[in-house]
Amino acid sequence: MATSFPVLGFDIGGTKIAVCLGTSEGKILASGRVDNKERHPDDVLPELVAMGKKLIAEAGLKNSDIVALGIGSPAPHDIPNGMITTPTNMKKWVNVPIRDYLKNAFGIEAYMENDANAGALAEWFFGAGKQCRNMLYLTMSTGIGGGIITNGHLVQGHNFLAGECGHFSIDLNGPMCNCGIRGCYEAYCGGRALAMRMQRELADKPDHPIVKYAKGNYDDIDLVCLEKAVRDGDDYACKLWDEMCLRNAQGIGSLINIFNPEMIVLGTLAWAAGDLFMEPMFKYLPQFCWDVQLKSCKVIPSVLKRHIGEYAGISVALNCLYEQGRFQPWQN
């Protein structure tokens, strides 16, 4: 196979779907978005096909020029059969055979992967983790998702459920996580969990800075509102932020000890908040992992940042070709 060839990617999200045409070397040839907010897949899937074909045509290519297409999708799903089953943020997407639908529509080999794993592959092929043999990626956004690269391969697990890095308990007496386990890492550090906590704790405080940053709408309270209040020096916000940094250090430190990676790449929170998050998290990190492991592991924010969705689907396709011995990354 040539060292540079085109692949097509789809990054499925609850509000929008990124469609991207790129090369195996990471050059983005064309990209587009399809709205997916509260829409039925019967309406969305044809638009994905139309967008993909439009991008291929704009690049002066034909479907037959595209070596493979990849799909990153939210869990739960059935990876072996290429189906999105019952994702929590896409209520109308029940048992959707998206892989075969796109495969048949384009006449191209199609592959599917968990969206957090797709993000990990994107950072591995084209971002911070290039040429790492052992790397973890954490999404750190609405929830805490993860992807694990071990000895140069994505860890998928027996049921294709490996990498749920946000769902191990760090406190048996902690809050109940959305997943049903008490005291999950995500229950302390996920954006949705923190937003719900702030909504409860500030319910009788409409004049609090966090509520004001949400323009008085409690449903709009989020990590951005919290960060702004922290930068203002608000006492409640600073204490909650510090606790969140401590719990992140606990989760990340545990992962360092378990996997002994050479790198952990952190998603949205780390690059968006920068040193406001990284410095206190690093301060606490030595409490939760061995010094020898910590010294040999880089913990850094994502390089791809908000563009990771453009690379995610493409990277799923490339990883499947890599596992088949048909693609070798970092040849240049």
**What's the whole-number mean pLDDT along residues 254-282?**
97
pLDDT higher than 90, residue 99: yes
> What is the C-alpha to C-alpha distance for residues 263 and 240, in angstroms, rounded to an integer?
27
With a cut of 60, say whether residue 332 has pLDDT above it. no
Residue 182's pLDDT is 96
Is 6-123+306-323 CATH 3.10.20.740?
A: no
- 216 three-state secondary structure: coil
Identify the DSSP state of 234. -
Predicted pLDDT of residue 175: 95
According to DSSP, the residues that pair with 266 across neighbouring strands are: 138, 301
Q: State what percent of residues in the chain have pLDDT above 70.
A: 99
Matching fold, domains 6-123+306-323 and 131-303: yes
Query: Is pLDDT above 80 for 2?
Result: no
* C-beta of residue 108 within 8 angstroms of C-beta of residue 95: no
Q: Tell me, what's the pLDDT at 88?
A: 79
Percent of the chain with pLDDT over 90: 92
Average pLDDT, the chain: 95
Predicted local confidence at residue 76, as pLDDT? 85
Return the pLDDT at 98.
97
Contact 229/173 with Cβ under 8 angstroms? Answer: no
Q: How would residue 43 be classed by pLDDT, with cut points 50, 70 and 90? A: very high
pTM over 0.85: yes
Helix (H, G, I), strand (E, B) or coil at 314: helix
Q: Are 18 and 10 in contact (CB under 8 A)?
A: yes
Q: What is the mean pLDDT of residues 227-234?
A: 98
Q: What is the pLDDT confidence band of residue 1, given thresholds at 50, 70 and 90?
A: low
Give pLDDT tens digits for 242-251.
Answer: 999 999 999 9
What is the per-residue pLDDT across 134-175, written as a single tens digit (0 to 9) for each? 999 999 999 999 999 999 999 999 989 899 999 999 999 999
The band of 125, judged by pLDDT with boundaries at 50, 70 and 90, is very high
Which CA distances in Å does 153 have to 1, 7, 131, 227, 321?
20, 20, 11, 36, 12
Q: Where are the domains of the chain?
A: 6-123+306-323, 131-303
- CA atoms of 184 and 176, how far apart (whole Å): 8
Predicted confidence band at 330 (pLDDT cuts at 50, 70, 90)? confident
pLDDT at 331 over 70: no
pLDDT of 87 higher than 90: no
What class has domain 131-303?
alpha beta
In terms of Cα–Cα distance, which of 173, 172, 155, 174 is closest to 164? 155
Least confident of 54-58, 71-75, 280-284: 71-75
- Residue 267 banded pLDDT, cuts 50, 70, 90: very high
Residue 89: predicted pLDDT: 80
